[in-house]
Chains A and B, each alone.
Chain A
Amino acid sequence: MSSGCPPSACSGCAVPGRSPASLQRLGLGLENWDHVVALAGNPNTGKSTVFNNLTGLRQHTGNWPGKTIARAEGGFSYRDRRYKLVDLPGTYSLLSSSLDEEVARDFILFGKPDVTVVVVDATALERNLNLALQVLQITDRTIVCLNLMDEARAHGLRIDTRGLARDLGVPVIPTAARQREGMEELLGEIERVATGQLAARPRRLTYDVPGLRDAIRRLAAEVEAAVPGVANAPWIALRLLHGDESVRRALARGELGLVSEDAAVGGVGAAA
Chain B
Amino acid sequence: MTSSRHERVLAEDALKHVFQCEYDRLTASADSVAGALRLSRDAARLLVDRLVTGGWLAWGGGALYLTVLGREHAVQVLRAHRVVETYLALETGLGSSEWHQRAEVDEHNLTPARVDALAQRLGDPRYDPHGDPIPTASGELPPAQGSVLLDWPEGVEARIVHVEDEPALVYAAIAQAGLVPGMRLVVDGTVVEGLKVRCEGRAFVLPRTLAGNVSVARLEQAPMAEAPTRRLADLKPGEVAEVRGLSPAIRGRERNRLLDLGFVPGSPVELGFTSPLASPSAYRVRGSLIALRTEQAEQVFIGQRVEGVDLKEGT
Which residues of A are at the interface with B, using a C-beta cutoff of 8 A?
A: 92-93, 95-98, 121, 123-127, 130, 151, 154-155, 210-211, 242-245, 248
Contacts and interface: CB of A to CB of B under 8 A. Distances in A.
Nearest to B261: A92
A95 B124 CA distance: 16
Contacts of B261: 92
A121 B287 CA distance: 11
Given A124-B288, A210-B221, 15 more contacts: A93-B256, A93-B259, A95-B256, A95-B259, A96-B256, A97-B257, A97-B260, A98-B257, A124-B313, A124-B314, A126-B287, A127-B262, A243-B125, A244-B123, A248-B120
A97 B253 contact: yes
Contact of B123 (A125, A127, A151, A245): A245
A92 B259 CA distance: 10
A127 B253 contact: no
15 contacts: A92-B260, A93-B256, A97-B253, A97-B254, A97-B260, A98-B257, A124-B287, A124-B288, A124-B313, A130-B260, A154-B315, A155-B315, A210-B221, A243-B122, A243-B123
A154 B124 CA distance: 48
Given A127-B288, A210-B221, A245-B121, A121 B260 contact: no
B71 interface: no
A95 B121 CA distance: 15
A123 B256 contact: no
Nearest to A94: B260
A211 B221 CA distance: 10
Contacts of B262: 127, 130
A190 to B, nearest CB: 26
Chain B binding surface SS class = loop
Given A124-B287, A124-B288, A151-B315, A242 B123 contact: yes
B286 interface: yes
Contact of A245 (B120, B260, B288): B120
B260 A95 contact: yes
Interface size class on chain B is 20 to 34
Contacts of B286: 126-127, 130
B257 A127 contact: no
B315 A97 contact: no
A241 B296 CA distance: 27
Interface in B86-125: 120-125
A243 B137 CA distance: 14
A123 B313 CA distance: 9
Interface in B210-269: 221, 253-254, 256-257, 259-262
Interface in B257-291: 257, 259-262, 286-288
Contacts of A93: 256, 259-260
B116 to A, nearest CB: 11
Nearest to B121: A245
A34 B314 CA distance: 37
Given A93-B260, A97-B260, A245-B120, A121 B314 contact: yes
A97 B256 contact: yes
Nearest to A96: B256
A127 B288 CA distance: 8
A125 B122 CA distance: 32
Contacts of B259: 93, 95
The 6 closest A-B pairs by CB, nearest first: A124-B314, A97-B256, A243-B123, A93-B260, A124-B287, A243-B124
Nearest to A97: B256
Contacts of A242: 123
B90 to A, nearest CB: 12
Given A211-B221, A244-B123, A98 B314 contact: no
A129 to B, nearest CB: 10
A214 to B, nearest CB: 14
Contacts of A92: 260-261
A211 B287 CA distance: 31
Given A93-B260, A97-B253, A123 B315 contact: yes
- Of residues B122, B254, B314, which shows the largest number of chain A Cβ atoms within 10 Å of its Cβ? B314
Contacts of A126: 286-287
Contacts of B288: 124, 127
Nearest to B253: A97
A96 B256 CA distance: 8
A184 to B, nearest CB: 27
- Of residues A97, A123, A151, which shows the largest number of chain B Cβ atoms within 10 Å of its Cβ? A97
A234 B259 CA distance: 21
Nearest to A242: B123
Contacts of A96: 256
Nearest to B288: A127
Contacts of B287: 124-127
